[in-house]
Structure 1
Amino acid sequence: MESSVVTLALFPSFQHAYAAVLRHVTENHEHVNTARGNDSHEVIGASFRLTDPRQRALFLTSRPVNPVYHYAEALWYLGGLRTLDLIGHYSSRRRADSRDGKTIEGSSYGVRIFAPRIDGSPSAFDRALELLRAETDSKRAYLPVFEAGDLDEIGHPDLPCLVGLQLLARDGCLHMVTYMRANDANRGMVCDVYSFTLIQEFAAAQLGLRLGSYTHHVGSMHVGVRDLERAHRVLEETAASPKAEPLFEAPMMPADTTWKHIRTVLEHEELLRTNQVQHTPADVAALDLPLYWQRVLLLFEAHRQIVNCPADVIDQQVLEALEPGARWQFERRWPTRVATGEVA
């Protein structure tokens, strides 16, 4: 049998990489893996690189995604949170990762990256940025997530899939390399790449650097047997125009984004999630937030309406104020909640 190892390939967008990885795993899998009862087709050792990490979104009718969850997960990480309240609200499946119904241990990567240490010293993220400011060409700005202690309990329900993130500042750009012990190419990888590249973009803003490339290394790349039919639909759709450009221009996080902006978004997300407030575009525009982050908050407002106003169509002013790519995804994720013909 020919080797099925994926050599490092360059892709202009994650959508291109996603299709290539799905095709490789489904057509050239090395093993049928049955870990913890989840049958999957697997290849060992897979890597790809994105030349433009901002092109992190999927625009495929065969693979609708939830843009609200994408930002919720990234903000959950940035907030250094492990509580289930936020992440479980946007994905009920995440509740299965919790032992006590209140917190998530292993896959709460943000706690290990962004939360201050127990002794009050700076987070791993802050220390990595401090290192890169002092030593521009350093190779040591590594953010570890998986720990030796994670192996103590064989039957643990929630071990980190992420091993760690490495930040590399080169020639005025910030590159990032992700190392994962395992990745579901059809499910987890879609969310992971979105969150990790957004973290990379935030780090670049803090350092005053341009956004460089994003590299994704995976020990066990797999596709669940239950997802093979959907994977084949994706491959049929992408095969029709394999070199097609993404439907929408990727939004650019403002270079002056600060931790204050992240805290403001998290504060208002909680108010919206708990239905304590409702926001119009004018309300959000009055906040001290760049347009990029205003549009993220409006996604949470649209989701608030889905949860709390189940019989109503989403407010058209809110939909029209969303970032165009996210609006396209939103319309396909919740088509019955969008008035036909009202939104471009």
Structure 2
Amino acid sequence: MQTPTIYPTFEAAYLDHLLAVRDAPEFVNAPRGFQSREILGVSYRIANPRERIVRIPERKLNLVFNFAESLWYLSGSNALDFISFYAPSMKKYSVDGQRLAGTAYGPRLFNFGGAGVNQWDSIERTLRQDPDSKRAVVQIFAPEELLIEGNIDVACTLGLQYMIREGALHAVSFMRANDAYRGTVSDVFSFTFLQEVMATQLGLQLGTYTHSVGSYHLYEHDDAFADKVLAASADQVCADPFPVMPSGDNWPAIREVLSLEAALRTQRLTLRTDDVSGLGLGEYWTDVVILFALHAGWRHAGTVDRELLDVLRPLYARLVENRWGVREPLASSGEK
């Protein structure tokens, strides 16, 4: 079997495969009535999965949503009000207006099938007991999803696999389908973020990330957006490296960030610049809270706290400014 093409960053892989599916698709079809171009059996590897973002200004990366989705998974929640606060478009995937099913990977990670199966703990235990194991697999897709008539929210991800090789934690994702313009941006961010959380938990270096997809596709309604991104220059929003997650167990910080996120989202907390130093979370996780606070200010009051924006590390601040446009917010379309 041929080794997947190795890219230094996700952005390089993203652009290469977006171009391929746009210009050289294997098939043109319309699943559920949505016109698309498609390539089957796509697989690529990212040498440095910490570089999990697309920096081209024309792509307008939604960094706040990316962190929100990743932490939504780690919260174990399927609550619509959490994730729809950052991507209102996701409401259309909920049957009851309260929860998401296939899109919500958190319950699959920590309580699979509602039976109390904690796959995250199983991964850690398996790899600690046998660092050479090939059994550290998280199942996401559930076969009963296809038995629900007219199900609009079927998991796109089949599973995730983690392997320790030469002192580093490598990860492989297996997806039944992936949107080449939108979905892959948020999925790779989340999956590599989870990989880094697990790596720090195990005290390991971050290894490579391999993205494997059955159907890699570009929807017709995104053609113009894809054209704009592919025609863009090589300029980047900011060239600063993506920050390194703190070493050791990050779960106490993650739980605190989730608590603060909920308070910000429900208007039980308003974060000001003077409050930042008192969070006690360290720069990495404090920046995530600031992102959530900026978004909450926009959603609740229609304003952006520019002093708070200036506290962010330059990479995050430039990405937020680029997304919202000259420090003024624009409507979020979500990434799903």
TM-score (norm 1): 0.91
Give the superposition deviation at 1:334.
1.2
2:295 alignment partner, one of 303, 323, 329:
303
Aligned partners of 2:228 and 2:325: how far apart in 1? Answer: 20
Residue pair 2:140, 2:155 contacting (<8 A) in 1 also: yes
Would you say how many aligned residue pairs link Structure 1 and Structure 2? 328
If asked which structure has higher relative contact order (CA below 8 Å, sep 6+), I would say 2
Please name the residue that 1:28 is paired with: 24
**Alpha-carbon deviations, 1:252-277, whole Å to 9, x = none?**
11012422111100100011111111
Partner of 1:59: 55
| 2:56–2:237 CA contact under 8 A, matched in 1 | no
Mapping for residues 205-244 of structure 1, pairs under 5 Å: 205-237=200-232, 240-241=233-234
Q: CA distance change for structure 1 residues 241 and 304 in 2, over 3 Å: closer, same or farther?
A: closer
Q: CA 1:116 to 1:159, structure 2 compared with 1: closer, same or farther past 3 Å?
A: closer
Q: Does 1:149 align with 2:144?
A: yes
1:323 aligns with 2:313: yes
Q: Is the 8 A contact 2:78 2:107 kept in 1?
A: yes
Q: CA deviation at 1:287?
A: 2.2
1:194 alignment partner, SS class? helix
Q: Distance in 1 between matches of 2:57 and 2:266?
A: 31
Q: What amino acid maps onto 1:183 in structure 2?
A: N
- Asked if the contact 1:7–1:46 (Cα under 8 Å) also holds between the matched residues in 2, the reply is no
Task: State whether residues 243 and 284 of structure 2, in contact with CA within 8 Å, keep that contact through their aligned partners in structure 1.
Answer: yes
Cα distance between partner residues in 2 of 1:128 and 1:148:
21
CA offset at residue 118 of structure 1?
4.4
Q: Distance in 2 between matches of 1:245 and 1:226?
A: 25
Q: Any residues of structure 2 matched to 1:79-228 within 5 Å, and which? A: 79-115=75-111, 118=114, 120=116, 123-228=118-223
1:285 paired residue number: 277
Contact 1:82/1:104, CA 8 A, preserved across alignment: yes
User: More displaced, 179-188 or 279-288?
Assistant: 279-288
Higher mean displacement: 6-15 or 180-189 = 6-15
Q: Secondary structure at the residue paired with 1:191? A: helix
Q: 1:118 to 1:184 in 2, by over 3 A?
A: closer
Residues in 1 aligned to 2:135 and 2:287: alpha-carbon distance in whole angstroms: 35
After the TM superposition, list the runs of 4 or more consecutive aligned residues in structure 1 that deviate by more than 3 angstroms.
115-121, 336-339
Give the Cα separation in 2 of the matches to 1:320 and 1:111: 36
Q: Which runs of 5+ in 1 are unaligned?
A: 1-5, 340-344
Change (3 A) 1:263 1:116: farther
Q: CA deviation at 1:33?
A: 1.8
How far, CA to CA, are the matches of 2:159 and 2:198 in structure 1? 15
Query: What is the RMSD computed on CA atoms of the aligned residues?
Result: 2.0
Match of 1:333 among 319, 323, 326: 323
Q: Secondary structure in 2 aligned to 1:178?
A: strand
Q: Which amino acid aligns with 1:114?
A: F
- State the identity %: 39
Residues 56 and 234 of structure 2 are in contact (CA less than 8 Å); yes or no, is this contact kept in structure 1? no
> Are 2:66 and 1:70 aligned?
yes
CA displacement 1:265-321 (0-9 Å, x = unmatched) = 0100011111111112442321231210000000011111111222x4x22321111
- Aligned partner of 2:11: which letter? Q
For 1:276, the equivalent position in structure 2 comes to 268
Report how far residue 31 of structure 1 moved: 1.0
Quick one: distance in 1 between partners of 2:189 and 2:139?
A: 19
Q: Deviations over 1:1-52 (max 9, x none)?
A: xxxxx97211111111110010110111011121111111001110111000
Cα distance in 1 between the residues matched to 2:55 and 2:33: 31
Q: Secondary structure at the match of 1:201?
A: helix
Partner Cα separation in structure 1 for residue 245 and residue 98 of structure 2: 31
Q: Distance in 2 between matches of 1:326 and 1:149?
A: 40
Contact 1:77 1:114 in 2 (8 A): no
Give 5+ residue unaligned stretches, structure 2: 330-336
